[in-house]
Chains A and B, each alone.
Chain A
């Protein structure tokens, strides 16, 4: 470990008067691979190596990383869907690492997820109104029918959408259904895991706008995970960059994007093709060269992929 990597962990984001809503400290997750030999111990994959950060209430927190960087593992831990090997996650002051499903019931209401691929996240045999209504059942909501209508309108779906099945919608509309379901229990935190990666350009803009509208309207805290730094830059006010299971950099969006302290972030920024740069004459060779110029990354070691 070098200094550059431990620094962001030691100093959490900009301080505010109120305590952070989500506080992550020195989080580790080690997966054990399946045995390949009778004599040797099974291999281990260190998916998260000492991750620490704070998310304040109302913040739009972006997590960027390439495949294998550990962002999905981090997300699973934040949602209490997997248990950390060591470290702590506090949600509104309550520890969630090592808690039972029963003890995590509050988290299921407070924190909701939108996944990348809505087709696999929505039950193909349920009508949309039942999909959106399902999270309300556990809460004994007084008027579930009215609430479902309200939610469908909020995400911009036609009123008759509730009677139909997920396969009758386009990708963008399915993602709207996913968002409506996530908002049903009135969560305070919305976690979006690559919500627009599977969508076309014109639909991507629509969904990003819907998300921004809803985050404003319901005063949500947004955790937005993506491999696409330019999307995260548009959506979020804080960016955390993950690489090889560590947070290499956390900071305000424009600072991370324009004046990054870490060579890995600079490489990531240099590799993104944009229309503006391309029209100014930046070709593929320049992108690849820009990555080299951004500097060698000390954390860049060959790492086993998590299968």
Chain B
């Protein structure tokens, strides 16, 4: 964006050539002498009243730094080194700090990603909302109290008078984010900056919060700057979209244009890397290489090194903005006069080669299922609640309450559900990392429950786990070789002989696509995706038959997620691994799984093949869950969009589940019988079962056809 461009009517925020730098790693007292690394380089955009600009990008692209920079709230190491931020005509970067404080929370407010940590734990909700009212509106006492009540009501909090006196820990995650929104709205801001506002929330809660944000924005005609990595959220919320890569905006377009014809090769790759756009079981498009480090930004186009269409010019000269359609601008040499001959192809859809490999892989996955590897029968994990002087048990948290599963070699079973439904506990109980309270777990026909530690040891080789966060799950003080070798040694796979061990480690590293040189390096030297590869290598090192994957890609960016999913697919085909895939991400399920089990409050409510559960969901909970997922595909084919089923409330406590069917308080189709007894399992097909009174044998004839209108 050139500086001479005039400010158009209604523009609330006008950012031009914003440059934000961070001091090097050892910045504290001597920050001034450290080299500055540009994290945001020449970013410009506008937000008008009543519109939503979504800034889309992967982690580290500078989108959050840009947002914090607008409010001048960068962390200590950050510096604004250039540009202009005009908000309602004033350049914020020139304002004295005292005046800037009237803008923060007053003109512009911000909500953050993690509601659990963004509220002060020791102050009441009323205090945290009232603070803003006092600061910006001068309201205190009764007037402030009344306004706080209005605000809490406006953000959809039931019983607001009671909530005002409560502390954040007494609220659920969704409720905390509502309070955060109330805090942000308290100063009557004209612009709302939302930094990944729903990333930490479950899909049904995410749907509620996005709906709330949309309606509040419409009511108040606020401008909104939405920072996100989720194309689905963009599709639902944005008016316009800006794509950030390595500190620059590379493409900007109105939403519909953006989804129908993304132009920048990076944007096209992002779409292609989405699991639900690819053929199931096939290989996902990935972006080779990594985002360049801040210290070694290339002189030309920053995406050139990873771009399939790059040629000489791209590496030499940074591309200028080109307008390719009305309001649709892109920074790519492909669209300049010089780049006329290089067609990027129509983005979004995997190219021919990818489709071919997908077909091959799909055939491979449809091999006849092998004998059953894992049988879980009526598994229960109850945690006692203790009270009183003698710590007597007064009740149980029924985290897992009668779960049965079966998994064959070479197959993937996805266990899906919202947080708190007990899916991770199932995984841990299968591995015997926590004691089950009842039921049986049999691996290769051998009962695991009740075995001594030494008896379990040989069986541990057969089952391994991959965890969610590769940053937290690898010991930072051990080298990669030690991390991988430890398991082999502990389970007696290799002797102490250095040679055999080193060869085994190299072999397993190659299997996950890492170089043998990684052996002597430490986890912090690797990127998130590489670390997850190390975690997979660690699990594979002992040649397991069963791998329990607990949200293995939810901490990763989309393009990295695609690499990991591809790797898991390849390993399954090559080694015949069985995966128990614990996740809340339906796109991943659709891509990877053969069978799906949906959990709600410690029990499985529906199970079947992927097609049965995802294409013809039967349980009202499954339907609501599926409809709440914001899919970028919907924006491209608006007609296929099913109506969103609003799920009221949140998942109840497993210590005190509702009587009858656990789901009845949130279910639109609940009847008297649902409140009385838990439904039996109804068989729909040989593979598809559901626990819902709608499908009970005596009701089948009258009710099974009822649709969720």
A binds B: no
A residues apposed to B, CB below 8 Å: none
